[in-house]
Structure formats: structure tokens, C-alpha cells
Amino acid sequence: MTQTLTQNKVEAASDLSYKPFQRRNISSRAFSFLAALFAVIAVLPLILVLGYVLVQGGSKISLGLLTQLPPPPGFEDGGIANAIVGTLVVTAIAALIAVPVGVGGGVFLAEYSRSGWFAQFIRFGTNVLAGVPSIIAGVFIYGTIVTSRILFGNAYSAVAGGMALAVLMIPTMIKTTDEGLKLVPDDLRRGALGVGASRFVTVVRITLPTALTPIATGVVLGIARAAGETAPLIFTALFSPFWSDLLTPEGIFAPIATLSVMIYNFAIMPYEFHNELAWAASFVLVVMILALNLLSRWLAQFAAKQTTSYVK
């Protein structure tokens, strides 16, 4: 009896051992190899593009390039300083417009109208707007703001560029705010309402602070999504080879240089130095967007740690 049990255990152990030449194991290894190959193919273009930009543009970075104005055609002494400042200004204007609208829209969807027909319409419209090509946003602002000269008689301006980028940023912020607020436990809301707090106080003092990290992640992702856009700025902010007088209100209502438009303009010029400035501007823009994406990932990881600690 004992020998029979021992023999059965040995046979069972041999049946559970890994047999590399079985058909299912060979198929599993083949499909695993294909999945890994497809993953490498998917990531390879990103690595090649980033590597090429780093090699071509990183070698051109210098203090003078970051502090001087771009040169006129045919000259070989200048930089991209005004485009860096212009990109920051236009992105900041876009954030000032998009953050209140995007966060406010997300709060409305998550806290005030979760399943109504209007909320469903807003969610559908947000998903559609998130997939609209960026040039459509530029044409829209061009037709409504630039050609009408509604901004104190000005046409192309930093404000118009910020409006175009804000149109692209709003869907991301609405969706992330909506999803972030849904992660807040309903017990916190019921507890605040139970002690006599109004819904507005509950949202401002309880739910928004609790979901601050995912909301901030959405804001950063929205900014990173719009910071590198070119087509909307060609139609709205245009370009300027000079410093913008940002200390006066007229400065933001005039054409302004941005890195993306500078890359477009200088890359098609027949002058080698301007082509090199386009590569340097590409490098700076990639670094800025990469930093924003890394910040958003850090915020997402921080939010996950907070959620885990709350559950424990």
C-alpha cells in the first residue's frame, strides 16, 4: 500500500514537471516571443526619434543659444530664447483658461449630474473633442477670434494661441477630474452631509482635496498634450523674431514666438544654421514635454500610494 502511494506521488510529480518539447509549451514560447517582438517594434520608433533629436539637437545647446534672439536669414549668430519664453507664456495662458473649465466640468459631472442626460452628452462631447485634430482647434479660434479682431482690435496674439491650446487641454482635464472624483469614497460625502455641510462645502473641503493628486495629474497631462502643438499656433499666435513686451498688456495681444512654430519655420529654410536652431529647439521642446510627463507619472504613483494607505 505504501509503495503504491509512493509510486503514485512520483508519477504525479513527473506529470507536473515542465516538459519543454510539448506542443503547448512550444506554442507558448513562440507566442511569448512574438509578443515581445511586437512590443519592441512599438517602442523602437519612439527610441529612434528621441535618440535622433538628442544627438542632433543636444550637441547644439549652449548658453548663447538659450539667451539670444533668432538671427535674420543668412546670419549665423543667435538663439531661441524668445521662443522658449513664448512657449511658456502661451502654455500658461492656455492653462489659466483650461484649468477652471476642465476641473469645473469634471466636478459637475462627478458630483452634481452623474447619470443625467446632460452629463452623458458632456461626456460624449468630451470624448469626441479629445479625438479632434489639433488643426481644427486652430481653425476654430482663427475664424472666431483672429479674423474678427475681437481682442481689442488685435488679430494674431499670444491670447489667441492660448485659447486654441485650451480647447485641446479641456477634454483631458474634464475626464481625469471626473475619474479622480469617482475614486473618492462615498462614505466621506455622506459623513460630511450628515454633520450638516452643504454639497458645495463637501466638494470644496472634502472631495476636491482628497482627489487633488489625480486632478493635478490630469492638469499636467493636458499641458503636456498641448505644449508641443504647432498647427493651432500657426493660425493664432503666428510668430515673432523679437522679444515680446510681456510687461505691458499689449504684449500678450501681439504675435509671439513659440518653439513648435520656430521648428516649423526654421526646418524648411535653406540655411544650415537655421536648420541647426530647429534641431536645438526640438531638443528643448522634447525635454520640456518629457519633464511634464515624468511629473504626471510621479503624481500618479503618489496618488496610488495614497489610495493604498487609505485602504489599509
CB 261 within 8 Å of CB 233: yes
| Residues whose CB falls within 8 Å of the CB of residue 175, separated by 6 or more in sequence, listed in order | 106, 126, 127, 130, 218
* pLDDT, tens digit, 9 for 90 and up, residues 273-309: 888 888 898 888 888 888 887 887 777 676 666 555 5
The structure's pTM equals 0.80
Going by the DSSP 8-state scheme, the letter that residue 240 receives in this structure is -
CA distance 167 to 116: 24
* pLDDT, tens digit, 9 for 90 and up, residues 50-104: 888 888 888 888 888 888 888 888 788 888 888 898 899 999 999 999 999 999 8
